[in-house]
Structure 1
Amino acid sequence: MRRISSRGATAAAWILAAAVPLVFVGVFFAWPVASIVGRGLFPDGMLDVAGIVEVLSRPRTVRIIGFTIGMAAAATAITLVLGMPVAYVLSRLRFRGRGVLRAAVLVPFVLPTVVVGIAFRALLRDTPLDGSVVAILAALVFFNVAVVARTVAVSWESLDPRQEEAARVLGAGPVRVFVTITLRRLAPSIAAAASIVFLFCSTAFGTVLVLGGAKYATIETEIWLLTTQFLDLRAASVLSVAQIVVVLLLLVITARVRGRTTAQHRSFATRRPRRSDTPVIAATVLIALALAVPLAALLERSLRVAGEWSGGNYLALASTGGRNALTVTPWQALGNSLGFAAAATGLAMLVGLVACVLLSRTPRSPVARRGLDLVDGALMLPLGVSAVTVGFGFLITLNSPPLDLRTSPVLVPIAQALVAVPLVVRTLLPVLRSVGSRMRDAAATLGAPPWRVILTIDLGVAGRAALAATGLAFTVALGEFGATTFLSRPDAATLPVVIYRLIGLPGGDNAGMAAAASVVLAAVCVAVVALVERLRVDTAGAF
């Protein structure tokens, strides 16, 4: 009887653990998104096909959808071309400064999107490319090179190089070896990286909003415009539904391709560069330098006042801008951002750790295994669905008892945690799955209760990965802009929101303050990334 009672208690504990991530995702993601779907498809309780067709057939809607798909496809193609040589260098070659290169490639990806937009505005200022399609395209490529480089590098380093070496011995040239052997073997990981990049580009918000404005709107920025400027909630809901459908298809494709690329993984030893590697090394160096150019332009702009070198823009961060245009100073906004990011990180780590401990188990029941797969998939959805859609959903669902949170600042860290949880899970789960069941079974046989097994074995092994996941979650939350634009109050604005408000105000002093505030925010993100990279935990699976 005692043994049966113990098993029952253990089963109840696992069910309770599963409830933590499911309730979090259900209440703060599935419910708001389902409400948007209902508002768009069933405005009066019945399916409104005519209304959906009317919104989707508007000339502006057709143009925006076409621009979004075309821009995402073009950015994805360019990103693949630029990311492949970097992936080769990171996965195959061993040289001094390899870690610095890894960090330099990762930095653009974790920068807040509004900072990237400000950086390209500073770079292209007073040129015909300022505010052009080329500017948006360049910013999207800048942001996503790390996705291709690090995702493909993980697969590339697991390829046995002896096949390529045998082909060279038989007389095949480098190009033929790459096209006929290497590229074919890398095809699944390249397809996975391409689908992820396309997903990120098609749902980009802050960068497109800063660089394109209303002239070059995407589905994401149009949802924001319809909601905040025109109050056309029905049209915004229809566009959100269309975007969700596309995102779900992309996530399914990515999951299937990723399943083929992660079935087996073995890292082969890297080698020192050869003379034949000179072209790809040169290309990688040029790409790394190109990634640094926008950030250098941003720093230069922040140190210029009326054409002269000065630190005045940084001193002005203690003020509320020209004619007191801001409710809080940028320094106060940074404090708000840090506080919200810390709360979001704590929430994301709690949900992510519980989910990872649960998902790292291998139950005997096929039903239980399928259930865990569904939980894993549900936790990944917030990474793909638009943050603007989530913020919009918060406003139309969490506005009545018992969850009347519409005016509460707690919504900001909750929205940020939703985006961070998938990164936490993708960082921690491979490490916990590598533990194996034998160590846990041995501890249980020696009398250790389940909670002690988790503390001493699971969390002991995943300690460094947990620190890396914490840093990534904090960085993502710190720069989150899409949902925060809907949810932050003027007296508790975050720094990304304040930066965007500054660039919308006339006057060079406000633009200078925006550049200085962007440098400060970027510096904080880079410092966190440097700490994460120092932990030497491979986080490519998070992309």
Structure 2
Amino acid sequence: MAVPAVFLAVFFLYPVGSILARGLGADGLSRLVDLPARSSFRSVAWFTVWQAVASTVLTVVVALPGAHLLARRRFRGRSLLRAAATVPFVLPTVVVGGAFLALFERLGLADGPLRLTRTAGAILAAHVFFNVAVVLRTVGTFWEGLDPRATEAARVLGASPVQAFRWVTWPRLWPAVAAASSIVFLFCFTSFGVVLVLGGPTRATLETEVWRHAVFRGDLASATALAIVQMAAVVAMVVVTNRLQRRRAVGQRVVRRVAVPRASGGLLAGNLALLVLVLGLPIAVLVERSLARSQSGGWWGGLTLDHYVALADRVTLLPVSALEALGNSLVFAVVAAGLAVLVGGLASLVVVHGRSAVARAFDLGMMLPLGASAVTVGFGMLIALDEPPLDLRSSRWLVPVAHALVGVPFVMRIVVPTLRGIDVRLREAAAVLGAAPARVRREIDLPIAARALAVGAGFSFAVSLGEFGATSFLPRHPDRLTAPLALFRLLSQPGDALRGQAMALAVLLMVATALSVLVIEGWGRRGSVRGDL
């Protein structure tokens, strides 16, 4: 119990508390009170909210047909489609930004009267790409568990497919749609890398403004005031999301699995075409751009591996080569995954076997970093961990610690349901045979939970590999540059050579995270792994 509690207190509660203390002090409080009177703040706050609302609506509209296909139709490659649709969600945000920049350049939308770069439309499109998997998995899983007999009865009584969906399916499906929408809204509201890469300086959200004030302008007071507003909004959204998730859980009934019909050719082709257009086209163009001889050439300008080879060479823009930065990211991801498994596994034992009040406190407390803004966490570490005995800003391992903070909730969301799903009779039989509680956990709980821990480690690895928000505050030594930061710097500069290297680095990051997802899908569908993920 002590290890997870200390980990959370030192690396999350203390940094966030430092932001609150600084922001609610005399000078900070005056900045906070003055924010509503500033037109720049109102403009940023309005853009943050409306782009999140628009992104959420578009994501639900695009993803609902696919959720129906996965839930109510049978076809070859169904599991593969579910796994492939999940890949964009775990891609590094700067990779998503790079993919859409490549797409706009390839389609001639980078400049001119139809320019999409540095526009709100680019941000909305990337958010849809990024969050379709949330709706597919959340709504699709819920939809699959709904009893289809009510809809079939409505059809027998003469209702058209649209009427049956509107009056029978939709009211029962709404709790899952609302829960998924709240999660998507939260992700879009706190989006950082996508807005920074595709929006540029003219499209700012609260998240990017905290970063700009702290890193570029050195105005910590304004950054702190904005971070407090951001935290208050995120806490409110997390409360709403949790309530909607509980409504979803109450509304879902476990029904006997029934045979689902095969998908018709038209339905399957239409859904696949939509998903390929939304999810596949940006990835395909990104790969093509990484292999193109000229970033401004046509579709058939010739292919080459020169951009991948050039990743081993250091360019003036970077303190180390892009390949070294990728190596740093891989090392940090392995360490972060190990920390997340250790802390999350121990916390899961407390949640499952601890006293009721302590279990609830741990369950809530360890979930807080997942709902908090990554930029806020990184900013808190920057201003809090700067004095002995916690002068850790120059420590090499602060980056994987920050990544592990986000990985721990993923581990717990998988391990806790798995532990709770263990048949209590196994433990009772072991106790009757004389096994001590510690041996019961070692001989029964650990072997069953091992696969869940491996899946959680995979999620933590993928999240760490692409983490950009908190990391943008933390590296204090040039040789510790991570791949997402290197990619952001490469994308921010003009030139065919740098853009080609950026695309190549983005593809390597994409491949690494995609492999993690495929491994997770394979392990998660075997054995007794359970959980929200």
- Deviation string 1:515-538 (CA, Å, 9 cap, x unpaired) is 100001111111111111112449
Equivalent residue pairs, number: 516
Structure 2: segments with no counterpart, 5+ residues: 110-114
Equivalent position of 2:100 in the other structure: 120
> TM-score, normalising length from structure 2?
0.93
Residue 262 of structure 1 aligns to a residue whose secondary structure is helix
> Which of 274, 296, 310 matches 1:316?
310
Aligned residues of 1:104 and 1:288 also touching (Cα < 8 A): no
Q: Given the alignment of the two structures, is residue 347 of structure 1 paired with residue 327 of structure 2, yes or no?
A: no
Aligned residues of 1:317 and 1:329 also touching (Cα < 8 A): yes
Aligned residues of 1:205 and 1:220 also touching (Cα < 8 A): yes
Shift of 1:228: 0.6
Equivalent position of 1:522 in the other structure: 510
Structure 1: segments with no counterpart, 5+ residues: 1-16
Equivalent position of 2:360 in the other structure: 373
Aligned residues of 1:424 and 1:470 also touching (Cα < 8 A): yes
Equivalent position of 2:449 in the other structure: 462
Farther off after superposition, 114-123 or 28-37: 28-37
Equivalent position of 1:72 in the other structure: 52
> Which of 315, 324, 327 matches 1:332?
324
Aligned residues of 1:91 and 1:270 also touching (Cα < 8 A): no
Equivalent position of 2:424 in the other structure: 437
Alpha-carbon distance in structure 2 between the residues aligned to 1:117 and 1:540: 32
Report sequence identity in percent. 48
Alignment of 1:401-480 (within 5 A): 401-480=388-467
Alpha-carbon distance in structure 2 between the residues aligned to 1:327 and 1:419: 27
Equivalent position of 2:23 in the other structure: 40
Equivalent position of 1:30 in the other structure: 13
> Which of 199, 202, 227 matches 1:212?
199
Aligned residues of 1:85 and 1:284 also touching (Cα < 8 A): no
Aligned residues of 2:452 and 2:530 also touching (Cα < 8 A): no
Equivalent position of 2:112 in the other structure: none
The structure-2 alpha-carbon separation of the partners of 1:271 and 1:130, relative to structure 1 and needing over 3 Å to count, comes to farther
Aligned residues of 1:92 and 1:271 also touching (Cα < 8 A): no
Aligned residues of 1:159 and 1:268 also touching (Cα < 8 A): no
> Which of 508, 513, 517 matches 2:496?
508
Aligned residues of 1:151 and 1:540 also touching (Cα < 8 A): no
Aligned residues of 1:150 and 1:540 also touching (Cα < 8 A): no
Alpha-carbon distance in structure 2 between the residues aligned to 1:86 and 1:370: 41
Shift of 1:513: 0.5
Q: Given the alignment of the two structures, is residue 287 of structure 1 paired with residue 271 of structure 2, yes or no?
A: no
Aligned residues of 1:468 and 1:537 also touching (Cα < 8 A): no
The structure-2 alpha-carbon separation of the partners of 1:133 and 1:256, relative to structure 1 and needing over 3 Å to count, comes to same
Amino acid at match of 2:257: A
Equivalent position of 2:180 in the other structure: 193
Alignment of 1:158-197 (within 5 A): 158-197=145-184
- Deviation string 1:126-166 (CA, Å, 9 cap, x unpaired) is 41112211111000110000011101122112211111111
- Deviation string 1:210-268 (CA, Å, 9 cap, x unpaired) is 11121101111110000011111111111111111111111111112212323565364
Amino acid at match of 1:175: V
Alpha-carbon distance in structure 2 between the residues aligned to 1:277 and 1:240: 50
Alignment of 1:128-167 (within 5 A): 128-167=115-154
Alpha-carbon distance in structure 2 between the residues aligned to 1:428 and 1:91: 25
Q: Given the alignment of the two structures, is residue 88 of structure 1 paired with residue 71 of structure 2, yes or no?
A: no
Alpha-carbon distance in structure 2 between the residues aligned to 1:73 and 1:459: 43
Aligned residues of 1:344 and 1:413 also touching (Cα < 8 A): yes
Equivalent position of 2:219 in the other structure: 232
Shift of 1:273: 3.5
- Deviation string 1:276-319 (CA, Å, 9 cap, x unpaired) is 79447623542244201001111111112233422111111011
Equivalent position of 2:372 in the other structure: 385
Amino acid at match of 2:5: L
Aligned residues of 2:350 and 2:362 also touching (Cα < 8 A): no
Farther off after superposition, 511-520 or 152-161: 152-161
Shift of 1:542: 4.6
Cα root mean square deviation, aligned:
1.9
> Which of 395, 402, 414 matches 2:382?
395
Shift of 1:25: 1.3
Alpha-carbon distance in structure 2 between the residues aligned to 1:66 and 1:316: 42
Alpha-carbon distance in structure 1 between the residues aligned to 2:431 and 2:241: 37
Alignment of 1:246-325 (within 5 A): 246-263=233-250, 266=254, 268-269=256-257, 271-273=259-261, 278-279=266-267, 282-306=270-294, 307=297, 308=301, 309-321=303-315, 324-325=316-317
Shift of 1:446: 1.8
Farther off after superposition, 465-474 or 137-146: 465-474
Alpha-carbon distance in structure 2 between the residues aligned to 1:158 and 1:472: 25
- Deviation string 1:48-94 (CA, Å, 9 cap, x unpaired) is 3x431212321111101100000000000011111212222222222
> TM-score, normalising length from structure 1?
0.91
Shift of 1:170: 1.3
Shift of 1:459: 2.1
Alpha-carbon distance in structure 1 between the residues aligned to 2:532 and 2:389: 34
Amino acid at match of 1:32: P
Alignment of 1:351-362 (within 5 A): 351-361=343-353
Aligned residues of 1:94 and 1:270 also touching (Cα < 8 A): no
Q: Given the alignment of the two structures, is residue 494 of structure 1 paired with residue 486 of structure 2, yes or no?
A: no
Alpha-carbon distance in structure 1 between the residues aligned to 2:489 and 2:35: 30
